[in-house]
Amino acid sequence: AQSVSQHNHHVILSEAASLELGCNYSYGGTVNLFWYVQYPGQHLQLLLKYFSGDPLVKGIKGFEAEFIKSKFSFNLRKPSVQWSDTAEYFCAVNAKGSSASKIIFGSGTRLSIRP
Amino acid sequence: SQTIHQWPATLVQPVGSPLSLECTVEGTSNPNLYWYRQAAGRGLQLLFYSVGIGQISSEVPQNLSASRPQDRQFILSSKKLLLSDSGFYLCAWSHDRAADTQYFGPGTRLTVL
């Protein structure tokens, strides 16, 4: 069965620091990968996604993620964070194939940015 | 444009009482529909998903059930609530059969006392 691991539960950074949030998945086949973000008091929304092609994916607000198939990873990065990036971030995976409609989320990483 | 509604926004129910949470989507047809439970530190737990009317896939065996009586309506139910059913319930939809971007509703905060 597919699963997603986010190893960092809570990350605290100062403004302008660089960010990398880890995401690893377990599934032997082809996958679609997602990062979602939940800002305080707002709905979950898509940050970026990978379906195929260039493994380096760029999303909204300066975020990017790199799919490394050999490592089963899809880490999220941002070179310089802002206070407004304070939010909870969720990695998600969808296994292409028989369970094509199922998406599994990780446990989330809470990001706190000190102004 | 598409919108997704969930109600009620908050609910406090006694143990052993029934539950019915409703989710509706507007502005699209034949969406995939999902129910998740979000708990602090545990992320989003997929409970049920549906690719069409009357088609429900259950991910977590428990005392909850889901139904899809209409194309854009998804209902989460229980006959008898447990304390452990407390949590934040999110409904989401995505386009067609291939999983794509999910669009989330505002959620329902359920407290079972």
What are the tens digits of pLDDT across the range B54-79?
A: 999 888 868 899 999 999 999 999 99
**Gap between the Cα atoms of A34 and A19, Å rounded:** 17
Q: How many domains does chain B have?
A: 1
The pLDDT assigned to A103 comes to: 85
For position B89, which CATH number holds? 2.60.40.10
Residue A97 scores a pLDDT above 80: no
Cβ-based neighbours of B74, under 8 Å, separated by 6 or more:
B22, B23, B24, B33, B34, B35, B50, B66, B67, B68, B91
Q: Yes or no: say if B65 and B78 are a contact pair by the CB < 8 Å rule.
A: yes
The pLDDT assigned to A29 comes to: 83
Sheet holding B3-7, edge to edge: B3-7, B19-26, B73-78, B64-70
Mean pLDDT of B89-93: 95
**Gap between the Cα atoms of B24 and B33, Å rounded:** 9
Residue B95 scores a pLDDT above 90: no
Q: Which of A46, A105, A106 sits opposite B101 (nearest CB)?
A: A46
Q: For residue B13, what pLDDT band results from cuts at 50, 70 and 90?
A: very high
Bridge-based pairing of strands A10-14 and A109-114 is parallel
Digit-coded pLDDT (tens) for A62-80: 999 999 999 999 999 999 9
Digit-coded pLDDT (tens) for B19-53: 999 999 999 999 999 999 987 767 888 899 998 99
Contact B46/A105, CB-based, under 8 Å?
yes
* Contact A75/B at CB under 8 A: no
The pLDDT assigned to B99 comes to: 58
Q: Which domain holds residue B94?
A: 3-112
The pLDDT assigned to A7 comes to: 87
User: What residues of chain B lie within 8 A of the CB of A59, using their CB?
Assistant: none
* Contact A34/B at CB under 8 A: yes
Reduce the DSSP state of residue A61 to 3 states and report it: helix
Structural domains in chain A?
Answer: 3-114 (2.60.40.10)
**Gap between the Cα atoms of B51 and B71, Å rounded:** 9
Is the alpha carbon torsion for A36, A70, A24, A82 positive or negative? negative
Q: Yes or no: say if A101 and B49 are a contact pair by the CB < 8 Å rule.
A: yes
* Contact B97/A at CB under 8 A: yes
Residue A44 scores a pLDDT above 60: yes
Higher pLDDT: B39 or B92? It is B92
E strands in chain A:
3-5, 10-14, 19-21, 24-26, 31-38, 45-50, 56-58, 64-68, 73-78, 87-95, 103-105, 109-114
